[in-house]
Amino acid sequence: MAFHDVNPVAPVHILVIPKIAISQLSLADKQMPSEEEAKSILGHCMAVAADIGRTHCPKGFRCVVNDGKEGCQSVYHIHIHVIGGRQLTWPPG
């Protein structure tokens, strides 16, 4: 599923979230019945993020997945941030 972030950092900020519970990217293969199922779900989420990015940010976009405390993860259900609609800077901070 996908919806707008409640605290957007850019004009386009949409979250892509799998309907199955996965707490974080680094644990996905351990929380799924198989590594293949984890890859399938994660791949599908990235494909959805790409579709959203192409549709809403034709000039370019960024996909972000935060993982763990030092990765700034605050919600422990994996989600992909699709961010764009303006020129983004690097490094992100």
| Among 60, 83, 92, 77, CA closest to 21 | 77
CB atoms under 10 Å from CB of 22, counted, come to: 21
Active site residues: 79
User: Is 45 exposed, middle or buried, given 0-12, 13-18 or 19+ CB atoms closer than 10 A?
Assistant: buried
